[in-house]
Amino acid sequence: MERLIVIGNGMAGVACVEQILKYSPRFEISIFGEETELNYNRILLSSVLAGEKTADEIILNDAGWYERNRIDLRLGVRIVDVDSANRTVTGDDGSVTSFDKLILATGSSPLIPPIEGIGKAGVYVFRNLEDTRALLDRARAGARAVVIGGGLLGLEAARGLQVQGCDVTVVHLMETLMERQLDATGGAFLKSKIESLGPRVLLGRNTRAILGAEHAEGVEFHDGTRLEADFVVIAAGIRPNVELGRRAGLLMRRGIVVNDYLETSHPEIFAVGECVEHNGVCYGLVAPLLEQGKVLAATITGNRGPKYQGSVPAAKLKIMGVDVFSAGDFSEAPGNDAVRFEDGAIGVYKKLILRDNRLAGVILVGDTADSHRYMDWLTSKNDLTALRRKLLFPDPAEDTELDVAQMPDAKVVCGCHGVSKGTIIQAILERGLSTLSQLKECTRASTGCGSCTELCQQLLQAVAPAAQSEAKRALCKCFSLSEAQLREIVRTERLRTVQDVLDIYGNGSGCEICKPALSYMLDMVWCGGHDEDRSARFINDRVHANIQKDGSFSVVPRIRGGVTSPDELRRIADVAEKYKVRMVKITGSQRIDLLGVQKGDLPKIWAELGMPSGQAYTKGVRMVKTCVGSEFCRFGVQDSTSTGIELERRLENLFTPHKLKMGVVGCPRNCAEATVKDIGLIGQEGSWQVVVGGAAGKKVRKADLLVTVETAEEALQAAALFFQYYRENADYLERTYDFVERLGIARVRRETVYAPMAVQQGLRERLRKSKARSRDAWLEGDEPRHATQFVQIEPLENVLA
């Protein structure tokens, strides 16, 4: 095994080691860290200063990680010399360690401007965890702080101190805040935003001296003016730590010079991170460092090939309530077109720079919601000619999920850690992730600056089967768990009665919301093999009829596909007369409704009808409405009636999260309105369209196309797949139109008709089981579940009224 020494236990060095570990283990690795901390997320120091995070929360690699990967970690040892000829490094503890390969990841140090008295007590820098702790110690309510430097770090330090109660003034040498990232207008917008939060901003001030005898008492500027202060923070920039490169005799300029493979001028010495200079650029932002780490890992493990070709510099200010994003080149040089929007009243400023119709730079202040899109344009260098009229205000995406879905897998979601969409999706699927915290732990995505959190959430929601559960509220006041969580519990704990679920995970008594929901859930999860508790069902499902406003019931026999016979009609007429049914009504669903029936008459009516229950009273399969179809209709191209009858036969008697209505039409004229049904089959010449999620009730929604198939049998199969998928994944009382909208039709397709064969077979098998256990509810007329199921109690004795 070769000995690899990494000098620097910061983000760049350790991220590179993480990448190296992904290749075969060929190194014995030692990491030297000057700080005594484990590798932490330096970007989040400002969050620690602002009290939003604790020091522990920004640790990236805990001690266990080093142990598991057998990394020899030497903390608190500063390497003072590198002998490139003998391949040894010397520590400030006197230790000499030899190496076969060496990585310099020494990072950078605060740039200390030439200011008189800068060594006085009460002058701080803000670069590492120790600095942050010192500042937190010093910061107290009312203390006057001067922050020298109005760049990213200075502003974040100022905001942190201000949150800690200090009276903060930011002093900046230039006339524009964050002048490396913003133009004058952007800087002015930022200034007023910062000042609205509390800190004062002084621009164009060159600090000459720190005042005070031994302890800082203020600052004096070159123009002679002074500013009193209790302490001073220097945040004027960083400079690469290159001393060791020099000692090793490497080619140096501002930083340690590396090529596209992160190789230095010495064959066994490599460098990565803020200490390097690539193509004349030293990077001080996290994303480039991580990109470099990946390339170096390949190079050093003998997989030399991937090249680092520089990064588009992008910066985001991490101050709550101050949105600033900047990337690329924003200079208005000749040949650059500027596209601007500014509204001082709402503090929004946007500027795009285009060169040859391609995005070259972007500045966003006050609204950074579109930063991902612009970053995309910047890196892809797409020709934007077609979008020129709406660059700043693009058409809203049809829905946000679509945006995520349209991103290519290779697209980097988390720029901080270089995690691509593909990696995230793979992690979600392979490890069964369902929460953001799991995703963070697994992939590191969104643990950096956090600007991709929203995207990660969207990906989770689009891909993770259980992702909704986190966001979704509890089922009802009886539970602190969501339906999705309860489904999982019911499955894993093998609960089969509503009362058990209520007793163990709820409040014991339940309510009219959760009891029917749990009844459905148990029936669905156990494919009808649960212990049915009728007391938890709504009255309609106890007596298999629809309760009306006067307490009477309605009776709707099943007339599959809306196709009946003279014999059936005769029986219906006889029953209606015999039981003095108050109204006989043709329903909107091609059924016949007998209204005003007394509960006690229900079993007799069912028996005399000799027809099965039409389930018109329940959250279940209601009906299939059909048009005449090719058998008679001169326009019909498919046999809609027999297909509709078969569809109804296959799915009838099953419960669904909400009522489920279907339609089958024999030609695109759509006479039975299949496009506004929960499931619709639309016959065309030589094919069938299967559409789902339609509605024509409280909401009108055109169904989405699930799939187009050739035969009626294939259409029936696709409908069945969707049917069972809806049963298993929708929340109770969620109609298909909400369900399909919530998930997006692309996901529904992916998980039904385009799902792997095993998944489809699972859905079919569970549907088959449920169907096998289901029965016509009206059979209970002959064999009631309970002696008094359909009767009023006759008192054993009576008294005079």
Partner 1 sequence: MNERNGTGGKQWVRITECANIPVREGRATTVGGHSIAVFNLGQRFAAIENRCPHRGGPLAEGIVCGATVVCPLHAWKIDLETGVAASASPDAPCVQTYRTRIEGGILEIEIPVAGAPPADTRETPRAHRDRPIRWVQRKFPTARPEMREQR
CB of 85 or CB of 787, closer to partner 1: 787
Least separation in angstroms between residue 134's CB and partner 1 is 56
Strands (E), 235-321: 238-240, 256-258, 269-271, 276-278, 314-319
One-letter identity of residue 624: V
CB of 333 or CB of 800, closer to partner 1: 800
Least separation in angstroms between residue 533's CB and partner 1 is 8
Place of tokens 């601007």: 340
CB of 341 or CB of 538, closer to partner 1: 538
| Of the candidate residues 59, 252, 547, 637, the single one contacting partner 1 (CB under 8 A) | 547
Contacts of 15 (CB under 8 A, 6+ apart): 289, 290, 293, 417
Least separation in angstroms between residue 408's CB and partner 1 is 49
| Of the candidate residues 510, 614, 663, 683, the single one contacting partner 1 (CB under 8 A) | 510
Least separation in angstroms between residue 547's CB and partner 1 is 5
Find the helix packing angle between 514-525 and 483-492, rounded to 10°. 50
Least separation in angstroms between residue 75's CB and partner 1 is 60
| Of the candidate residues 536, 616, 627, 753, the single one contacting partner 1 (CB under 8 A) | 536
Q: How far apart are CA 509 and CA 503, in angstroms?
A: 8
380 part of the interface to partner 1, by CB under 8 A: no
CB of 547 or CB of 633, closer to partner 1: 547
Q: Could you tell me whether strands 553-555 and 592-597 are parallel, antiparallel, or unpaired per DSSP bridges? A: antiparallel
Least separation in angstroms between residue 502's CB and partner 1 is 10
CB of 206 or CB of 497, closer to partner 1: 497
CB of 141 or CB of 801, closer to partner 1: 801
Contacts of 30 (CB under 8 A, 6+ apart): 3, 4, 5, 6, 71, 72, 73, 74, 97, 99
Least separation in angstroms between residue 597's CB and partner 1 is 14
Kindly report the number of other CB atoms within 10 A of residue 548's CB atom: 13
Kindly report the number of other CB atoms within 10 A of residue 578's CB atom: 12
Q: How far apart are CA 229 and CA 145, in angstroms?
A: 6
CB of 437 or CB of 509, closer to partner 1: 509
Contact region for partner 1 (CB under 8 A) — 10-18, 330-338, 437-445, 792-800? 792-800
783 part of the interface to partner 1, by CB under 8 A: no
CB of 60 or CB of 478, closer to partner 1: 478
Contact region for partner 1 (CB under 8 A) — 227-235, 314-322, 423-431, 781-789? 781-789
Q: Which residue from 750, 669, 683 is spatially nearest to 716, judged by alpha carbons?
A: 683
| Of the candidate residues 338, 511, 637, 759, the single one contacting partner 1 (CB under 8 A) | 511
Q: Which residue from 132, 166, 164, 131 is spatially nearest to 146, judged by alpha carbons?
A: 166
Least separation in angstroms between residue 539's CB and partner 1 is 4
Least separation in angstroms between residue 587's CB and partner 1 is 21
535 part of the interface to partner 1, by CB under 8 A: yes
Q: CA 708 → CA 126, 405, 560, 715, distances in Å?
A: 62, 21, 24, 8
Binding mask 470-509 for partner 1 (x = CB under 8 A): --------------------------------------xx
Least separation in angstroms between residue 518's CB and partner 1 is 12
Q: How far apart are CA 763 and CA 725, in angstroms?
A: 7
Kindly report the number of other CB atoms within 10 A of residue 665's CB atom: 31
Encoding tokens for residue 308?
């680092």
| Of the candidate residues 62, 493, 512, 631, the single one contacting partner 1 (CB under 8 A) | 512
Bridge partners of residue 108, in order along the sequence: 240
Least separation in angstroms between residue 523's CB and partner 1 is 17
Supply the DSSP string of 210-248, one letter for each residue. Answer: EESSSB--EEEETTS-EEE-SEEEE-S-EEE--HHHHHT
799 part of the interface to partner 1, by CB under 8 A: yes
| Of the candidate residues 255, 516, 614, 636, the single one contacting partner 1 (CB under 8 A) | 516
Bridge partners of residue 202, in order along the sequence: 171
Q: How far apart are CA 179 and CA 188, in angstroms?
A: 10
CB of 145 or CB of 521, closer to partner 1: 521
Contact region for partner 1 (CB under 8 A) — 7-15, 227-235, 385-393, 542-550? 542-550
| Of the candidate residues 114, 302, 686, 795, the single one contacting partner 1 (CB under 8 A) | 795
Least separation in angstroms between residue 499's CB and partner 1 is 8
Least separation in angstroms between residue 582's CB and partner 1 is 17
Supply the DSSP string of 4-20, one letter for each residue. Answer: EEEE--SHHHHHHHHHH
Dihedral sign from CA coordinates of 448, 453, 455, 458: positive
Least separation in angstroms between residue 489's CB and partner 1 is 21
Kindly report the number of other CB atoms within 10 A of residue 10's CB atom: 27
Kindly report the number of other CB atoms within 10 A of residue 511's CB atom: 16
CB of 259 or CB of 509, closer to partner 1: 509
Contact region for partner 1 (CB under 8 A) — 280-288, 464-472, 543-551, 675-683? 543-551
Q: Are 671 and 747 in contact (CB under 8 A)?
A: no
CB of 60 or CB of 536, closer to partner 1: 536
Bridge partners of residue 257, in order along the sequence: 277
Q: What order of strands is seen across the sheet that includes strand 167-171?
A: 123-125, 231-234, 144-148, 167-171, 200-202
One-letter identity of residue 473: R
Least separation in angstroms between residue 792's CB and partner 1 is 5
793 part of the interface to partner 1, by CB under 8 A: yes
CB of 428 or CB of 518, closer to partner 1: 518
| Of the candidate residues 539, 595, 705, 745, the single one contacting partner 1 (CB under 8 A) | 539
Kindly report the number of other CB atoms within 10 A of residue 627's CB atom: 28
Encoding tokens for residue 133?
């702790």
Q: How far apart are CA 324 and CA 340, in angstroms?
A: 15
Q: Could you tell me whether strands 144-148 and 231-234 are parallel, antiparallel, or unpaired per DSSP bridges? A: parallel
CB of 549 or CB of 634, closer to partner 1: 549
Q: Where would I find the H helices in 610-678?
A: 640-651
Supply the DSSP string of 335-384, one letter for each residue. Answer: TEEEEEEEETTTTEEEEEEEETTEEEEEEEES--TTHHHHHHHHHHT---
Q: Which residue from 251, 224, 255 is spatially nearest to 238, judged by alpha carbons?
A: 255
Least separation in angstroms between residue 494's CB and partner 1 is 22
CB of 533 or CB of 728, closer to partner 1: 533
Least separation in angstroms between residue 699's CB and partner 1 is 22
| Of the candidate residues 534, 766, 768, 769, the single one contacting partner 1 (CB under 8 A) | 534
What 3 state SS string does 564-587 have?
A: CCHHHHHHHHHHHHHCCCCEEEEC
Bridge partners of residue 328, in order along the sequence: 361
Q: Are 33 and 14 in contact (CB under 8 A)?
A: no
Binding mask 731-770 for partner 1 (x = CB under 8 A): ----------------------------------------
| Of the candidate residues 86, 492, 565, 792, the single one contacting partner 1 (CB under 8 A) | 792
Count, residues near partner 1 per rule CB under 8 A: 32
Least separation in angstroms between residue 552's CB and partner 1 is 10
Q: How far apart are CA 693 and CA 703, in angstroms?
A: 5
387 part of the interface to partner 1, by CB under 8 A: no
Contact region for partner 1 (CB under 8 A) — 194-202, 359-367, 751-759, 791-799? 791-799
Q: How far apart are CA 20 and CA 31, in angstroms?
A: 13
| Of the candidate residues 542, 558, 658, 659, the single one contacting partner 1 (CB under 8 A) | 542
CB of 215 or CB of 786, closer to partner 1: 786
567 part of the interface to partner 1, by CB under 8 A: no
Residues binding partner 1 (CB under 8 A):
508-512, 515-516, 533-539, 542, 547, 549-551, 786-788, 792-801
